């Protein structure tokens, strides 16, 4: 998906999906709500595409959002960082299915928050979070359980 710029037969550009011209991160399909969300990290925005309805921005600026995951209630967990190694602003925001802010989860004060995912089975209340600069992995206990398809 990211950076898809292939030319079709005879040099024609193929029909574009709503998410083919951005540098994407964190693609997440919410089967319960029937929409696809992704981050345009360069454009500093989070988008949502609903089949038959199109694409809309659900968060801008996004705080240089990166990876995303869902819990069982359809809330979207978003890893965020400002991309500044000298003064990092990092953490996780949780957006309700309607795109409204539910909560902010602080992360340890090291590194850029880059990706996240819930554990499985008995560990589904654990949110695993990665950081860059320095590279680390953290586990945060949550009150909500992660979602898997």
Collapse the DSSP code of 69 into the 3-class scheme (helix H, G, I; strand E, B; otherwise coil) and give the result. Answer: strand
Q: Model pTM greater than 0.85?
A: no
Task: For 74-104, write each residue's pLDDT tens digit.
Answer: 999 999 887 776 776 788 999 998 889 999 9
Nearest-angstrom CA–CA distance, 149 and 143: 20
Query: Where are the chain's structural domains?
Result: 9-141
Selection from 28, 56, 29, 24 nearest residue 40 by Cα: 24
Kindly report the CATH number that applies to the domain delimited by 9-141. Answer: 2.120.10.30
Residue where the block lists tokens 């949550």: 142
Collapse the DSSP code of 122 into the 3-class scheme (helix H, G, I; strand E, B; otherwise coil) and give the result. Answer: helix
pLDDT bin (cut points 50, 70, 90) of residue 9 is: very low
Distance of CA 102 to the CA centre of its chain: 15
Residue 32 in tokens: 């319960």
């Amino acid at each position: 998906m990211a950076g898809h710029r292939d030319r079709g037969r005879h040099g024609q550009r193929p029909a574009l999906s709503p998410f083919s011209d951005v540098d994407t991160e964190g693609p997440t399909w919410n089967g319960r709500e029937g929409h696809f969300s992704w981050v345009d990290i360069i454009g500093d925005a989070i988008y949502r595409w609903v089949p038959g309805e199109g694409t809309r921005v659900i968060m801008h600026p996004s705080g240089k959002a990166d990876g995303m995951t869902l819990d069982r209630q359809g809330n979207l967990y978003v890893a965020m960082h400002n991309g500044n190694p000298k003064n990092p602003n990092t953490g996780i925001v949780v957006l309700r299915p309607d795109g409204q802010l539910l909560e902010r989860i602080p992360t340890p004060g090291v590194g850029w928050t880059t990706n996240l995912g819930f554990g499985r089975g008995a560990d589904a209340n654990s949110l695993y979070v990665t950081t860059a600069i320095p590279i680390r992995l953290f586990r945060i206990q949550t009150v909500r359980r992660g979602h898997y398809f």
